[in-house]
Structure 1
Amino acid sequence: MTKLVLYQRDYCHLCDRALAVLAEARVPDFDSVWVEDSGELEDRYGTRVPVLADIRTGRELDWPFDARAVVQWMAME
């Protein structure tokens, strides 16, 4: 089970950019979760997506973020 989740939406250009940033940051493994598939997630994230979350700790990194910010965020475990 991966510890990182990218909350996103279908047809979201910012989400596409976030995926590119995660690739640039060489994030080893993460799950993608689409918020529109769940009323609870829709209520929680609404227009905040994309959001990178560590499901073990509950920490979240809201957009906008770049590769450097992702690497620093991941190092703060």
Structure 2
Amino acid sequence: MSHLILYQRDYCHLCDAALAVMAEARAPDFDSEWVDDSAELEARYGTRVPVLRDTRDGRELDWPFDAAAVRVFLDAPDSLAGSE
């Protein structure tokens, strides 16, 4: 299981664009979660998708983002490092 999750919707052209951006950024493996499958996720992400989340520290990157923004997001130090 990856520490990265891309929240998305079925039949979402912005989500398709986000997948292309993730590939362009050469992002590591990530999990996809569809907000349509969960009332909780629908309430949280319904109008925000696509959203990239790092489960290690809870940071989120909202659309619109480009490959450079994804790289900055991925290269940011883990805010939880050393706090345990």
Which TM-score band (shorter chain)? Answer: over 0.9
Q: 1:26 maps to what in 2? A: 26
Q: 1:62 maps to what in 2? A: 62
C-alpha distance in structure 1 between counterparts of 2:41 and 2:56, whole Å: 17
Letter in 1 for 2:15: C
C-alpha distance in structure 2 between counterparts of 1:47 and 1:16, whole Å: 16
- Aligned residue for 1:2, secondary structure, equals coil
Q: Deviations over 1:11-62 (max 9, x none)?
A: 0000000000000000110000000100000000111000000011100000
Q: 2:9 maps to what in 1? A: 9
Greater C-alpha Rg: 2
TM-score normalised per structure 2 = 0.89
C-alpha distance in structure 1 between counterparts of 2:75 and 2:38, whole Å: 30
C-alpha distance in structure 1 between counterparts of 2:4 and 2:33, whole Å: 10
Task: Give the CA RMSD over aligned residues.
Answer: 0.6
Q: 1:53 maps to what in 2? A: 53
Letter in 2 for 1:28: P
Number of aligned residue pairs: 77
C-alpha distance in structure 2 between counterparts of 1:56 and 1:37, whole Å: 23
Where in structure 2 are there 5+ consecutive unaligned residues?
78-84
